[in-house]
Every structure is written in structure tokens, then in C-alpha cells.
Structure 1
Amino acid sequence: MNAALKRFRIVAWIVGTCLILLVFVAMPVKYLGHDDTFVTIISPIHGLCYMVYLVLGFHLAQQAGWKFWPQTVGLLLGGTVPVGSFFVERWAHRRILAEHPQAADTKIGEKERV
């Protein structure tokens, strides 16, 4: 569970950052500056990262034992709103730690609890 949570958290931040760059930087440059260079670079990166986000989010929800509706669907849709993935990542992290305390990160030098 801990590894799935870490992977999801990392990709959620990447997806959120890419979507913010796409919506608030690349699209204005495309339509106001008539230059689609940033869009052609950032769009495929965000698309690929979002697909990874969907897979890792679904895997995390399955491991956590969440229902498909509304928890899993909400988790998966979080990457479609420019800052949504940041909020969903934090919500998922808190909820998993509350439901599965064994998923808490261990400190360096501390043995992992079994």
C-alpha cells in the first residue's frame, strides 16, 4: 500500500503541474501570442502522465478497498481540473493513512512495522 501511495502522490503532482502549465501558460501563449510551440510540447506530456495517473489511481483505490463510486471516480477525475490533482492527492493521502495506518512512511533508520 505504501508504494502505491507514493507512486500516486508523485504522479498526481506531475499531472497537476503539467496541467497548470498547459492551461495557464501554453494555451494563452498559443491564442494570444499565436505560437503553439508550448502546447505541442506540454500536451502530449500531460496526456501520457494523465494516463499513468489513471492507472495508478485505480490501483491505489483497489488496494485501499474503495467503492468505484464516488471515491474511485473522484480520485480519477481529480487530474482533469487544473489544481484538482493537488487536492485529491492530499485527500487520498489523509484518507489512506486514516484507514490503513500501516501505510505511513517510515523515517530513515526506523524499521518498518509489519
Structure 2
Amino acid sequence: MSGLFKTYRVLALVVGVLLVVGTIGSVLKYGLPDGSTLQRLGEDLTPVWLVHGWIYMIYVVIAFVLTQRAGWPLTRFLLMMVAGLVPGLIFWVERRVASQLRDEHPELARR
């Protein structure tokens, strides 16, 4: 795999996991009574959003470079960006991007 493609895949998975963990933390923090054990766990998970934000910015840059090298339209890049903001969607998008990149540009996705 090329370094760019490998970096994209790793970042996509990390962003996806952080997004799911952050969402669960928010549901626990705001959806449960104050002071309960799970509500405190939700509060403790709040810093996950900061980490997600920083890694998401790096993900966006890498996704942009990847789409430019592949010659893909802006809409595909926008889908990749939105995927990092909707819990669970990034896992599906990452698989589609990997499949399309292997089919259309094997030189960028070589193993």
C-alpha cells in the first residue's frame, strides 16, 4: 500500500472510533441523571472530542490530497469529510474509497 493510502485508512479508522466513543460519552453525559456512575463516565469521555477534532483535521488534509492524486471530483471529497462527522458512516465510506481506489488507481493502492 502506498504511504498516503495507508495513512488515510488508519486515520479513517481512528476518527471513526473516536467519533463513536465521543457520541456514546455524550449520550451518557447528557442522557442520564447527574451524579450517576455512567453519567460521570460520560463526563470523563469529554476530552475524546478534542482528540477527535485534531485528528479529523489531519484526516481532512490527507483525504483531500488522496482525492486530488486520484483525480476524483469534489463531491467524493465532501462525502469523505462528512463521513468523519456522522457516527459509523466513516467505516462504510473508507471501504468504498479503498475499493474504488484499488479499481481505478491501483498505483495509489498497491500492496
Written as runs of structure 1 = structure 2, the 5 A alignment for 1:14-25 is: 14-24=14-24
CA distance in 1, matches of 2:49, 2:63: 20
Q: Which consecutive residues of structure 1, in runs of 5 or more, have no partner in the other structure?
A: 107-114
Q: Which consecutive residues of structure 2, in runs of 5 or more, have no partner in the other structure?
A: none
CA distance in 1, matches of 2:3, 2:28: 38
1:8 maps to which residue?
8
Q: Shift of the alpha carbon at 1:77? A: 1.2
Whether 1:82 and 2:81 are equivalent positions in the alignment is no
2:68 maps to which residue?
62
Decide whether the 8 Å contact of 2:4 with 2:66 is kept in 1. Answer: yes
Could you state the TM-score of these two structures normalised by the residue count of structure 1?
0.82
Q: Shift of the alpha carbon at 1:75? A: 1.4
Equivalent residues, number? 103
How high is the sequence identity, in percent, across the aligned residues? 32
| RMSD (CA atoms) | 1.6
Could you state the TM-score of these two structures normalised by the residue count of structure 2?
0.84
